[in-house]
Amino acid sequence: MTIIKLIQKVFTAVSTLQEIGVVLIGSMIIAAAFTSPIFTNLENLGIEDWDEHLFYHAVPHRTLLEYKQIPLWNPYYCGGGVMLANPQSRFLSPSFVLLLLFGTVAGIKMEIFLHLVIGMLGCYLLGRYYKLDPLVAWIPSFVYMLSSMYALALSAGMSWFLSVAYVPWAIFWYVRSFETRWCIILTSLSLVLIFFGGGPYTLTITLLSFMVYSILGIRQYGVLKNLIILGGVLFFTISIGAIKFFPSYDFMKAHPRELKDYSGYSVESLYNSLFDREQRLGAIQKYFDEKTHSKPGFWSGISYHMDENGMYVGWIAGFLFLIGMGANLFRHWKLALLFLIFLWLGLGNRAYPSLWEFLHLFPVYDTMRVAQRFRIIFMLCFALFAGFGLQAIKTFVAQRQSKVVAHGVVVMLIVFVLGDLFLVNRGTFTDAFPIPPMTFEKPGDFVQVTSIPKYDAKGVLKGKDHVFSAWSALYPAFLLNMGTIHYDCFGNPDIPKNAIPANSSAYRGEVFLQDTQGNVMIDDWTPNRLKIAVNVSSTGYVVVNQNYYSGWHVDDGRPIEKWNGLLAIKVSPDDNMIELYYRPVSFVIGALVSLLTIALLVLLVFLRHKVAAACKKLEAMVGL
């Protein structure tokens, strides 16, 4: 069986690959029109969180192209910290090649377009799996990906939200895993793409939806079959993605965080998020005042800003959803319950009893914040039921009029939904990148600083932050070859920030001697590796002005010690050159596991017939 035939077999929900091609082209045209505002000034910088997230992309971009190293360490962040192990790092995503080819800013904008296409195509396939007609199946794509949810999150700079585009694919392959075992691998690959795309929140939320779906499917498929499929997905996801999972786990275990901030939709904010036509980032001022924000409750109040709340779909899509629920509640009861459970989670602390607070009792989920992020799942269910509603209307009209009239009604409703989403949500992207590109003189040698001033479209920002400014200045500091120490590192106040800024009276250079006299200087500086020339009169220490992490090593095998939280190497008069590098054991083991797993999967593809026969025998033995 050729690869093409294998693809055709697993895509049995869609009639032909030709149909997929048509949908792909259509998605590209719609996505290009929807995201066009961000390409007006291609090199413009973004507002709010974009500074931080451009920084997350620029560091590995330079590390890969200029220094020819795997981006394991980030010397520019909080006095030195992890890069690969940062759960929000995205350089392992296949789409990162766009940044390597076109630069950080232009590349990330191309990724926004690309992932919109990917998400629309995934929603379409999921709709076709649930027996929606080819034309009707566009509705889930529009309602999910063109709602203000995607546009707001990306306009505000949450680049991890790109990973939401893989959620429909992950769910598509997961529900198909109960019919075709090979789909377990494709489910895992989708989850790995989510995590490689900087989406730890998206990953944990999607995995939770799998768990809920499996529990709901026990009566249909049995406990053992559900456990095998869910266990297989978890195994292959962790094994394929071990190159990042292992270092990230190592880092989070060393620096755990528990968040108990108040969040969740109220009935009022849920209604406004779905149906209020003011969805641009500045619209939060309409709701976000001291009175409403400080009033916790089920009925009223709002938590966080528009990027964490907005998901405008409009009244027509809402009407289709209600029709779909009414007509398919029993037929698609698992999806209906999935919608209700994740809506309950999205209510966060405002619901009583709070399913969100219960979920916070469990590992991993106790590190999550912003309950509204569970809209990633209930919005997908909402979009599918909107498709079911349009399908029901088409059937109803066709039975009482004709297929031609029914087709016309479907086209009209699709055009109305698409037009409304464009009118309301496309404008959000006009606010995303208003800041002209920065130009600097040639940067000097690397140096740690406390911070540099924030900025907006007018330049250096003075006074209070506002919605159209950058909320940090990590990116321009990086362009100046400066490491920024004063920052909320990884959103965890317990992360060490021990490096000494250059404006401090305690500053002694980026490398200095301790407990000895002599000379020391950096001979060669790169993110992952440092070469230090040293000449000392007695035994002492060379101290590097970066945070101590256990993954650092010296070429000759001597230990790296900790001095006031900084890297310290014991030296003697016999030393004249020291070379140290960052390579954590978790990365080495993780890379080996990923490579072995991929090699195993390739072997399984070649031996698929024998594997399939063995699986059938095993299933017969255990009674599946």
Q: Among 122-136, 182-196, 221-235, 606-620, whose mean pLDDT is lowest?
A: 606-620
SS3 588: helix
Contact 377, 205 (CB under 8 A): yes
pLDDT of 11 strictly over 60: no
Q: Report yes or no: 78 and 547 within 8 Å, Cβ to Cβ.
A: yes
Q: Can you tell me the distance from the alpha carbon of 551 to that of 559, in angstroms, rounded to the nearest whole number?
A: 11
From residue 89, alpha-carbon distances to 54, 158, 199 in Å are: 11, 12, 9
- Is residue 444 within 8 Å of residue 24, measured between CB atoms? no
For 530, residues 6+ apart whose C-beta sits below 8 A from its C-beta are 511, 522, 524, 544, 579, 580, 581
Taking 60 as the threshold, does the pLDDT of residue 422 lie above it? yes
Q: What is the mean pLDDT of residues 384-403?
A: 93
Q: Could you check whether the bond before residue 353 is cis, i.e. omega within 30 degrees of 0?
A: yes
- Dump pLDDT digits (tens) for 47-59: 989 999 999 999 9
| Mean pLDDT, range 416-422, rounded to an integer | 96
The mean pLDDT value for 569-576 works out to 93
HSE value, Cβ hemisphere, 13 Å, CA-based, for 7: 7
Whether 2 shows a pLDDT value over 60: the answer reads: no
Q: Give me the pLDDT at residue 188, please.
A: 96
Q: What is the DSSP string of 358-415?
A: HHTTSTTGGG---GGGGHHHHHHHHHHHHHHHHHHHHHHHHHHS-HHHHHHHHHHHHH
Confidence of residue 117 (pLDDT cuts 50, 70, 90): very high
| Percent of the chain clearing pLDDT 90 (strictly above) | 70
CA neighbor of 55 nearest in space, from 30, 91, 22, 20: 91
Q: What pLDDT digit, counting tens, does each position of 144-198 carry?
A: 999 999 999 999 999 999 999 999 999 999 999 998 888 999 999 999 999 999 9
When comparing pLDDT for 315 and 285, which is higher? 315
For residues 308 and 315, is the Cβ–Cβ distance under 8 A? no
> What does pTM read for this prediction?
0.91
Residue 292 pLDDT > 50, yes or no? no
Q: Is the dihedral of CA 245, 250, 251, 252 positive or negative?
A: positive
Cα–Cα distance measured from residue 338 to residue 496, given in angstroms and rounded to the nearest whole number: 40
Averaged pLDDT score across all residues of the chain: 89
Statement: residue 15 has pLDDT above 70: no
